[in-house]
Structure formats: C-alpha cells, structure tokens
Amino acid sequence: MNQSASPEDKGYLDDYRFRSDFLKPRFWPLWLWFGFMWLISRLPYSFFCAVSRSIGLLFMRLAKDRRYIAERNIELCFPEKTALERAEIVRESFAGAGMALFESGFVWWPQKRLTNMVEIKGLEHLQKARAEGKNVLMFTPHNTSLEACFSQLSMHEKLNILFRVHDNPFWEYMAGRGRRNFHLRLIPRKQVKDFLHFLSTGRTGLIAADQDLSKRRGVFVPFFGIQASTVTSVSDFCRQTNSVAMLVSGYRRVGAGYTVEIRPPIENFPSDDVVADTARVSLLTEQAIREQPGDYLWHHRRFKTRPDGEPQLYERQKKRKSKKRRAQKKRNKEI
C-alpha cells in the first residue's frame, strides 16, 4: 500500500523523519506503549474489542473531569432521554475512545483484514462529483473511529486532511509515518493556504468542523438546540475554492467492523450567508451524531464559549478552577 511521494508531498514527508533523540529515556514509556498498541491490534477482533473497550471504561472511572464533560454534554443534547439511556451513551463513548487508542495499530502497522472490515456506503456520490470535475470538501463529526474508517476511504479517493499536530513529537512521528501507508496527505491546520491550494486544484479535502475554537474563530449556531460557537470553515473553504460540501461519517458496527457513509453534496451551498451555511453544516452534523450517538467524542467542552449574557454550562469545572486559583494565591502569600 505504500505510495511514492509526489513533489508536492515531499515537504510533508520530511516532517516524519526519525530523530535520534527519540531513543532518549524520556521517550521510553512511549516505546512501551507503541509496543502494547501493536500487540493489542494483532489480537482476534473479538478479543481486541473486549480489551480496548475495557481500557476505555477504566479511563471513564479514573478521568473524572472528562467523564463530567461527557455526562454534561449528553445531558444538554439529549434531555428527552432517560438517565439510563444517557449513561449508556457515556459508556459507549468511553469504550469507543478506548478502541480508538488501539485501532491506530490497524493503520500505523497495516493489516489486510482491515480492508474487509470497513464497509463504504455512498461512494457513488463522491465519484459522481469527481467525474463532473467538481472540487470536493468533505466534513465529518469527531467520531472515535476516524482512524480506521478514513484510512480505508483513502484507498478509493486520496484525502487531504487538515489536522492538529500532536504535542508529542515522537507520537506525531509514529502516527504520520504509519498513515503514509495510505493515500493521505496530512496538512497541519496552521497551513490552511496549502490545504486550499490542494482543494482548489482538484484534490479532495477532509475536515472536522464541530469543535468550539473560541468566539473569535466562530459564529453561534444551533447544535442540539443550543447556541454553540462553530467555525465557518466549510462555508469559507467551499467559497474560496469553488467546492461542493459533502458530509461523511464513520462509525462502528459492534463486533463486526466499521461503516463509512458519504452523503450527497449539500444543495445550493455555499450561499452568501456564512452564518446560515454554518447552521446547515451544524444541523447535518447533529443528524449524523443522533444516528450513532455512542460513536461521538463527547469528551470535549463543545459549549464552553457562550453568547454574551448567557451562563456557563460547565459549572463544576469552573468551581474547581476557582478553588485551584484560590489555593495558588494562598501559597503565593505564604511564600
């Protein structure tokens, strides 16, 4: 599955060269972790699911702040569900996050079995748009199965993905080199101009545009009936590159593999109203999440930025931060 690098790719491949300092003691724990990841990803799939889900559920018990965020998000987004139904979504989200940790092993050290485990629906929508000479920007919700799903979609259409670089350089090296086994071009999100260049010259783009990146970088549109700060990237990028926008979502079929579902292009998009466009993107993302709520990454503070005059929605964490600040001030006075 390895592909030769085009001149346009070479600059990106240079970012994933092995560095001698990766052998230093501070990286040894990660070497052990990657070895564990490789081992777990080689288990029969039923055992793989059992082990990785258990680790995700263990994390749910230990990471109280993340659990609170997930519970609060689901409480806000699904008020019509019972407490037991919401608790089950929380469990599935953490179990899925545990699987995501080890599913990377399917991609970083490729396995032929993954091809047979991923079902792709709606590929004809993408092929039709490409046959008509259209530039295509796909957007996706932050589901926990992205790694496994989109590596396989890339075998049908080379993907140019705008992504956040990992803080740990060794982790980024391992992830980047492994993903290069597939038809993926990874573009750091600070290099948006490169992403737009590839998109405008006929390369299919993929972004996830469903996280709160502050009031300055977004507009407020409904998300599960709540005003949420949402980036306007899908509308902006399509307008700048004359692209069509298509929703794509990847989710798990419990114990059986994965499904990637591509929806038809959004009609009459983009418009002259970026807020209305972003609201449409948010609604489509919400609808996809509602179909498979346990696959979504509920652990980030989706509603942390509030419109002027509206109360904060994560009061527990706000109180904890206030206590930490008071404790720090007390220590400073003692010093």
Expressed as residue numbers, the domain containing 137 is 116-334
- Residue for token pair 């987004």: 77
Q: Is the dihedral of CA 113, 166, 38, 50 positive or negative?
A: negative
What is the predicted pLDDT for the residue at 213? 75
Residues with pLDDT less than 50, the chain:
1-5, 7, 10-11, 13, 335
Q: Is residue 162 part of a domain?
A: yes
What is the predicted pLDDT for the residue at 331? 54
Q: How many CB atoms lie within 10 A of CB 55?
A: 18
At 257, list the tokens: 């593999």
What is the predicted pLDDT for the residue at 275? 96
Q: Is residue 182 part of a domain?
A: yes
Q: Is residue 256 part of a domain?
A: yes
Q: What is the CA radius of gyration of the chain?
A: 21
What is the predicted pLDDT for the residue at 211? 82
H/E run at residue 240:
helix 233-241
At 46, list the tokens: 């039923």
Q: How many CB atoms lie within 10 A of CB 308?
A: 6
What is the predicted pLDDT for the residue at 1? 41
At 106, list the tokens: 């399917």
The tally of domains found in the chain comes to 1
What is the predicted pLDDT for the residue at 98? 95
Q: Is residue 323 part of a domain?
A: yes
Q: Is the dihedral of CA 209, 213, 219, 222 positive or negative?
A: positive
Q: Is residue 37 part of a domain?
A: no
Q: State pTM to two decimals.
A: 0.86
List, for residues 284-312, the tens digit of each pLDDT value: 999 999 999 999 999 999 999 999 888 99
Q: Is residue 145 part of a domain?
A: yes
What is the predicted pLDDT for the residue at 163? 85
